[in-house]
Structure 1
Amino acid sequence: MFLSLLGITFLVSLLVCFIVARVFAKPIDGILERIVASDIAFAWTKYLKFAIYVVGISGGVRIHYLENFLMAPNEHFTPPVLNADRWVLEIYRTIVESLQSIAWMLLVFFIFALIAYVIVRAFELRAKVKLEIEERSGDD
Protein backbone atom coordinates (compact mmCIF):
# COMPACT_ATOMS: atom_id res chain seq x y z
CA MET A 1 0.00 0.00 0.00
CA PHE A 2 2.86 2.38 0.81
CA LEU A 3 4.47 1.90 -2.60
CA SER A 4 1.15 2.70 -4.26
CA LEU A 5 0.89 5.91 -2.26
CA LEU A 6 4.47 6.85 -3.16
CA GLY A 7 3.85 6.17 -6.85
CA ILE A 8 0.53 8.03 -6.95
CA THR A 9 1.93 11.10 -5.16
CA PHE A 10 4.86 11.11 -7.57
CA LEU A 11 2.57 10.92 -10.60
CA VAL A 12 0.25 13.61 -9.21
CA SER A 13 3.24 15.91 -8.56
CA LEU A 14 4.55 15.20 -12.05
CA LEU A 15 1.19 16.11 -13.56
CA VAL A 16 1.00 19.33 -11.54
CA CYS A 17 4.51 20.28 -12.67
CA PHE A 18 3.66 19.54 -16.29
CA ILE A 19 0.58 21.78 -16.14
CA VAL A 20 2.43 24.63 -14.40
CA ALA A 21 5.37 24.40 -16.82
CA ARG A 22 2.96 24.62 -19.77
CA VAL A 23 1.03 27.55 -18.28
CA PHE A 24 4.18 29.56 -17.53
CA ALA A 25 6.15 28.61 -20.67
CA LYS A 26 5.35 31.75 -22.68
CA PRO A 27 5.82 34.25 -19.83
CA ILE A 28 9.17 32.68 -18.90
CA ASP A 29 10.32 32.66 -22.54
CA GLY A 30 9.28 36.27 -23.01
CA ILE A 31 10.97 37.50 -19.87
CA LEU A 32 14.22 35.67 -20.52
CA GLU A 33 14.40 36.74 -24.17
CA ARG A 34 13.94 40.35 -23.03
CA ILE A 35 16.62 40.16 -20.35
CA VAL A 36 19.30 37.97 -21.97
CA ALA A 37 20.35 37.07 -25.50
CA SER A 38 18.01 34.66 -27.27
CA ASP A 39 20.57 31.84 -27.54
CA ILE A 40 21.17 31.98 -23.79
CA ALA A 41 17.47 32.50 -23.07
CA PHE A 42 16.70 29.09 -24.59
CA ALA A 43 19.09 27.37 -22.17
CA TRP A 44 17.77 29.32 -19.18
CA THR A 45 14.21 28.44 -20.16
CA LYS A 46 15.09 24.75 -20.26
CA TYR A 47 16.78 25.04 -16.86
CA LEU A 48 13.79 26.84 -15.34
CA LYS A 49 11.41 24.16 -16.60
CA PHE A 50 13.69 21.52 -15.10
CA ALA A 51 13.69 23.47 -11.82
CA ILE A 52 9.88 23.56 -11.86
CA TYR A 53 9.83 19.77 -12.03
CA VAL A 54 12.48 19.28 -9.35
CA VAL A 55 10.94 21.76 -6.92
CA GLY A 56 7.39 20.64 -7.59
CA ILE A 57 8.07 16.93 -7.18
CA SER A 58 10.27 17.35 -4.12
CA GLY A 59 7.62 19.60 -2.56
CA GLY A 60 4.72 17.32 -3.43
CA VAL A 61 6.28 13.97 -2.54
CA ARG A 62 7.28 14.57 1.06
CA ILE A 63 9.47 11.56 1.79
CA HIS A 64 9.97 12.42 5.48
CA TYR A 65 6.23 12.46 6.03
CA LEU A 66 5.65 9.29 4.03
CA GLU A 67 8.20 7.49 6.21
CA ASN A 68 5.58 7.59 8.97
CA PHE A 69 3.65 4.92 7.10
CA LEU A 70 6.66 2.58 7.39
CA MET A 71 7.43 3.09 11.06
CA ALA A 72 6.57 0.32 13.46
CA PRO A 73 3.88 1.17 15.99
CA ASN A 74 4.95 1.68 19.58
CA GLU A 75 3.47 3.15 22.73
CA HIS A 76 4.07 6.75 21.53
CA PHE A 77 3.31 6.40 17.83
CA THR A 78 0.67 4.73 15.69
CA PRO A 79 1.27 4.85 11.91
CA PRO A 80 -1.51 6.47 9.87
CA VAL A 81 -3.99 4.07 8.31
CA LEU A 82 -4.21 4.17 4.51
CA ASN A 83 -7.98 4.24 4.07
CA ALA A 84 -9.96 6.11 1.38
CA ASP A 85 -10.08 9.33 3.41
CA ARG A 86 -6.31 9.27 3.91
CA TRP A 87 -5.77 8.70 0.16
CA VAL A 88 -7.88 11.73 -0.72
CA LEU A 89 -6.09 13.83 1.88
CA GLU A 90 -2.64 12.73 0.66
CA ILE A 91 -3.47 13.45 -2.98
CA TYR A 92 -4.87 16.86 -2.06
CA ARG A 93 -1.82 17.59 0.08
CA THR A 94 0.44 16.55 -2.80
CA ILE A 95 -1.26 18.96 -5.18
CA VAL A 96 -1.15 21.86 -2.73
CA GLU A 97 2.46 21.25 -1.66
CA SER A 98 3.63 20.95 -5.28
CA LEU A 99 1.89 24.19 -6.24
CA GLN A 100 3.20 25.95 -3.15
CA SER A 101 6.78 24.89 -3.83
CA ILE A 102 6.58 25.94 -7.48
CA ALA A 103 4.95 29.24 -6.55
CA TRP A 104 7.83 30.14 -4.23
CA MET A 105 10.39 29.23 -6.87
CA LEU A 106 8.62 31.27 -9.55
CA LEU A 107 8.21 34.20 -7.16
CA VAL A 108 11.96 34.29 -6.61
CA PHE A 109 12.56 34.00 -10.36
CA PHE A 110 10.13 36.81 -11.18
CA ILE A 111 11.59 39.09 -8.50
CA PHE A 112 15.09 38.67 -9.92
CA ALA A 113 13.72 38.98 -13.46
CA LEU A 114 12.03 42.25 -12.51
CA ILE A 115 15.26 43.61 -11.08
CA ALA A 116 17.14 42.54 -14.22
CA TYR A 117 14.46 44.09 -16.42
CA VAL A 118 14.75 47.42 -14.61
CA ILE A 119 18.52 47.37 -15.04
CA VAL A 120 18.28 46.49 -18.75
CA ARG A 121 15.65 49.18 -19.27
CA ALA A 122 17.78 51.78 -17.49
CA PHE A 123 20.74 51.02 -19.76
CA GLU A 124 18.51 51.22 -22.84
CA LEU A 125 17.12 54.59 -21.78
CA ARG A 126 20.60 55.83 -21.01
CA ALA A 127 21.84 54.75 -24.45
CA LYS A 128 18.80 56.35 -26.10
CA VAL A 129 19.38 59.68 -24.33
CA LYS A 130 23.07 59.56 -25.23
CA LEU A 131 22.20 58.91 -28.88
CA GLU A 132 19.71 61.81 -28.93
CA ILE A 133 22.32 64.14 -27.45
CA GLU A 134 24.84 63.07 -30.10
CA GLU A 135 22.28 63.61 -32.86
CA ARG A 136 21.45 67.10 -31.59
CA SER A 137 25.09 68.06 -31.31
CA GLY A 138 25.66 66.77 -34.88
CA ASP A 139 22.83 68.93 -36.21
CA ASP A 140 24.46 72.15 -34.98
Structure 2
Amino acid sequence: MDNLITLHNGVDEGVSVIQSTDISHHSFAFDQNMNPCIVYNKAGTTYCYWYDPVKGEQTTMEFDVYMESPQVSLDDHRHQLGSSDIILSYTREDKLCYRQQRDRYQIEYILGDARNQKLTQIGMSKNNRFQFRLVFDWRNE
Protein backbone atom coordinates (compact mmCIF):
# COMPACT_ATOMS: atom_id res chain seq x y z
CA MET A 1 0.00 0.00 0.00
CA ASP A 2 1.28 3.47 -0.88
CA ASN A 3 2.12 6.06 1.72
CA LEU A 4 0.26 9.28 0.96
CA ILE A 5 0.72 12.77 2.28
CA THR A 6 -2.56 14.51 1.55
CA LEU A 7 -3.64 18.10 2.27
CA HIS A 8 -7.30 18.72 3.20
CA ASN A 9 -9.17 21.97 3.62
CA GLY A 10 -11.83 20.35 5.83
CA VAL A 11 -14.48 20.44 3.12
CA ASP A 12 -13.16 18.85 -0.07
CA GLU A 13 -11.57 15.44 -0.57
CA GLY A 14 -8.04 16.79 -0.44
CA VAL A 15 -5.02 16.75 -2.69
CA SER A 16 -2.29 14.13 -2.48
CA VAL A 17 0.96 16.05 -2.70
CA ILE A 18 3.37 13.16 -2.08
CA GLN A 19 2.82 9.52 -2.91
CA SER A 20 5.49 6.91 -2.26
CA THR A 21 5.99 3.43 -0.88
CA ASP A 22 9.08 4.22 1.23
CA ILE A 23 8.26 7.27 3.40
CA SER A 24 9.71 6.62 6.85
CA HIS A 25 9.47 10.08 8.45
CA HIS A 26 7.80 13.41 7.73
CA SER A 27 7.33 16.87 9.21
CA PHE A 28 5.29 19.75 7.81
CA ALA A 29 4.62 23.45 8.25
CA PHE A 30 2.92 26.28 6.40
CA ASP A 31 4.58 29.56 5.48
CA GLN A 32 2.92 32.96 6.08
CA ASN A 33 1.07 32.60 2.75
CA MET A 34 -0.19 29.11 3.72
CA ASN A 35 2.03 27.32 1.23
CA PRO A 36 2.90 23.86 2.57
CA CYS A 37 6.44 22.77 3.35
CA ILE A 38 6.90 19.03 3.87
CA VAL A 39 10.19 17.39 4.68
CA TYR A 40 10.31 13.61 4.47
CA ASN A 41 12.64 10.63 4.30
CA LYS A 42 12.19 8.20 1.46
CA ALA A 43 14.45 5.15 1.21
CA GLY A 44 17.07 6.89 3.36
CA THR A 45 17.18 10.16 1.39
CA THR A 46 15.65 13.43 2.63
CA TYR A 47 13.37 15.51 0.41
CA CYS A 48 11.73 18.89 0.96
CA TYR A 49 8.51 19.86 -0.84
CA TRP A 50 8.16 23.64 -0.60
CA TYR A 51 7.05 26.81 -2.39
CA ASP A 52 9.97 28.35 -4.25
CA PRO A 53 9.20 32.06 -4.86
CA VAL A 54 11.91 32.28 -7.54
CA LYS A 55 10.18 29.59 -9.61
CA GLY A 56 6.72 30.69 -8.46
CA GLU A 57 5.62 27.12 -7.74
CA GLN A 58 5.86 24.18 -5.36
CA THR A 59 9.03 22.19 -5.92
CA THR A 60 10.79 19.19 -4.41
CA MET A 61 14.41 19.44 -3.35
CA GLU A 62 16.58 16.37 -2.69
CA PHE A 63 19.21 16.32 0.04
CA ASP A 64 21.85 13.74 0.85
CA VAL A 65 21.45 10.67 3.03
CA TYR A 66 23.27 12.19 6.03
CA MET A 67 20.32 14.31 7.21
CA GLU A 68 18.75 12.64 10.24
CA SER A 69 15.39 13.36 11.91
CA PRO A 70 14.55 16.45 9.82
CA GLN A 71 11.91 18.86 11.16
CA VAL A 72 10.31 22.01 9.70
CA SER A 73 8.55 24.91 11.40
CA LEU A 74 7.68 28.54 10.74
CA ASP A 75 10.10 30.47 12.93
CA ASP A 76 7.76 33.34 13.86
CA HIS A 77 3.97 32.95 13.68
CA ARG A 78 3.33 36.60 14.43
CA HIS A 79 2.34 38.83 11.51
CA GLN A 80 5.82 39.70 10.21
CA LEU A 81 5.69 38.60 6.59
CA GLY A 82 9.03 40.06 5.60
CA SER A 83 11.09 38.49 8.33
CA SER A 84 9.68 35.01 8.96
CA ASP A 85 11.10 31.81 7.50
CA ILE A 86 10.40 28.14 7.51
CA ILE A 87 13.34 26.52 9.27
CA LEU A 88 14.50 23.06 8.20
CA SER A 89 16.49 21.55 11.05
CA TYR A 90 18.18 18.15 11.37
CA THR A 91 21.19 16.37 12.79
CA ARG A 92 24.16 15.46 10.64
CA GLU A 93 27.25 13.62 11.83
CA ASP A 94 26.61 14.48 15.52
CA LYS A 95 25.88 18.16 14.80
CA LEU A 96 22.60 20.09 15.04
CA CYS A 97 22.11 21.95 11.76
CA TYR A 98 19.52 24.07 10.01
CA ARG A 99 18.68 25.66 6.68
CA GLN A 100 16.24 28.50 6.10
CA GLN A 101 13.71 29.37 3.45
CA ARG A 102 15.20 32.80 2.65
CA ASP A 103 18.36 31.00 1.47
CA ARG A 104 16.21 28.60 -0.57
CA TYR A 105 17.57 25.87 1.77
CA GLN A 106 20.96 26.05 0.00
CA ILE A 107 23.14 27.06 2.99
CA GLU A 108 23.74 24.78 5.96
CA TYR A 109 24.26 26.42 9.37
CA ILE A 110 25.75 24.40 12.25
CA LEU A 111 24.32 25.20 15.68
CA GLY A 112 26.33 22.86 17.88
CA ASP A 113 27.01 19.37 19.14
CA ALA A 114 24.24 16.74 19.03
CA ARG A 115 26.21 13.60 19.81
CA ASN A 116 23.92 10.66 20.65
CA GLN A 117 20.86 12.87 20.28
CA LYS A 118 17.83 12.82 18.01
CA LEU A 119 15.93 15.94 16.97
CA THR A 120 12.24 15.41 17.76
CA GLN A 121 10.67 18.88 17.59
CA ILE A 122 11.37 22.50 16.66
CA GLY A 123 9.29 25.64 16.93
CA MET A 124 8.43 28.87 18.69
CA SER A 125 8.05 28.58 22.45
CA LYS A 126 5.71 30.52 24.74
CA ASN A 127 8.42 33.10 25.42
CA ASN A 128 8.84 33.80 21.67
CA ARG A 129 12.11 31.90 21.34
CA PHE A 130 12.73 29.40 18.58
CA GLN A 131 13.76 26.16 20.24
CA PHE A 132 15.07 22.72 19.30
CA ARG A 133 14.08 19.60 21.25
CA LEU A 134 16.75 16.92 21.25
CA VAL A 135 16.41 13.61 23.09
CA PHE A 136 19.08 11.11 24.02
CA ASP A 137 19.33 8.37 21.39
CA TRP A 138 20.67 5.31 23.19
CA ARG A 139 20.96 3.36 19.90
CA ASN A 140 23.98 5.48 18.91
CA GLU A 141 25.84 5.18 22.19
TM-score by length of 1: 0.22
Q: Which one has the bigger strand percentage?
A: 2
TM-score by length of 2: 0.22
Structure label with greater radius of gyration: 1
